[in-house]
Structure 1
Amino acid sequence: MRKIKRRIKIYIPDPKFNDILITRFVNHIMKNGKKSLAYKIFYNAMKKIDLIKKNEKKSSVEIWKESLKNVTPHVEVRSRRMGGSNIQIPVPISSSSKITKAMKLLVTCASIRNEKTMANKLAFEIWDAFNEQGESIKRKENIHKMAEANKAFSHFRF
């Protein structure tokens, strides 16, 4: 069987910053179709980042993009059945999948945090990722460590 080509989604830029990446990120924040609430959470997180940054000259959106870049994994491991056992094979990730995985990492790690509101959780997680610390960076490094540990099986690629 041949793989079916996925249709590329067309995103409408967000109303405040006019950026397509923000719309994609808000879609990952969104639960039960409440997009306006997800936008409020994101914009409140951007305001909180403006309050957090001290001597940083970058805008809150630039800080968010930098933290997204810091969290993006470059390889992942996929299971493949060889003989009687499953082997973890490291595989490079496509550019669109990298962005999606980074967004999911940021949102899931933010939801785990202990702050009061989701906007605060998201703001502090973005700030930690910008400074290359926090749970999302640890998970990214864990993904890379697994790929490095299974580098011997890289010639079994799909």
Structure 2
Amino acid sequence: MGRITSSRSQLIGDPRHHSLLASKFINCLMLDGKKTTAQRVFYDALEEIGKRHEGEETPIEVFEAALENIKPYIEVRSKRVGGASYQVPMQVNKARQQSLAIRWILAAVRDKKGRPMALKLADELLAGFKKEGAAYTKRENTHRMADANKAFAHFAW
């Protein structure tokens, strides 16, 4: 169990939408302390989503729904029992769900090359909203792995 740091309580909403989730995402997107660059990429991606998405959802709602779709609910963890290691399926707590979803989205976006970051991010968020894309595939693989190892669930204590 991780320590609760003051960073959680110090997190304030992003300037435009006052969303803590968006602020957290921007902080994870940021490289080398360049927050304004990260904000510009994020807001450009939201604008791109606004242009491309046909529906009544606002871009920030699309972002939140995409993140919700990508969150894993169960994962496998290694457990040593009697000299053997088992992949034991376990529930994922809320904070870890969020951080994994953000990490997977950013990893998927950073793996794609040759286009501006905002466009790649918009693509991945729209794909996550539609329950497809690389980050969603990662989630599905995690769930599939947990399902395949259900036999070892009794080792979870």
User: Smaller-chain TM-score range?
Assistant: over 0.9
SS of the residue 1:27 aligns to: helix
Q: Deviations over 1:79-134 (max 9, x none)?
A: 11122221111110111111111111111111112451111110000011111111
| Candidates 7, 11, 17, aligned match of 2:5 | 7
The equivalent residue for 1:154 is: 153
| TM-score calculated relative to the size of structure 2 | 0.92
State the distance in 2 between where 1:124 and 1:113 align: 11
State the distance in 1 between where 2:55 and 2:48 align: 14
User: What is the letter of the counterpart of residue 152 of structure 1?
Assistant: A
Is 1:45 paired with 2:42? no
| TM-score calculated relative to the size of structure 1 | 0.92
The equivalent residue for 2:84 is: 85
Which ranges of 4 or more aligned residues in structure 1 deviate by more than 3 Å?
none
The equivalent residue for 2:129 is: 130
Aligned length: 155
Q: Deviations over 1:10-52 (max 9, x none)?
A: 2111111111110111111111111111111100100111111
- Unaligned 5+ segments in structure 2 are none
What CA RMSD, in Å, does the superposition of the two structures yield over aligned residues? 1.5
State the distance in 2 between where 1:4 and 1:137 align: 26
- 8 Å Cα contact 1:115/1:121 also seen in 2: no
- Unaligned 5+ segments in structure 1 are none
SS of the residue 1:22 aligns to: helix
Aligned sequence identity (%): 32
Q: Following TM superposition, by how much is the alpha carbon of 1:6 offset from its aligned partner in structure 2, in angstroms?
A: 2.6
SS of the residue 2:79 aligns to: strand
| Structure 1 segment 70-109 matched on structure 2, within 5 A | 70-109=69-108
State the distance in 1 between where 2:145 and 2:114 align: 30
Measured at CA, do residues 49 and 115 of structure 1 come closer, stay the same or move farther in structure 2, by a change above 3 Å? farther
State the distance in 2 between where 1:27 and 1:148 align: 33
The equivalent residue for 1:66 is: 65
SS of the residue 1:14 aligns to: coil
State the distance in 2 between where 1:87 and 1:42 align: 40
State the distance in 2 between where 1:4 and 1:13 align: 23
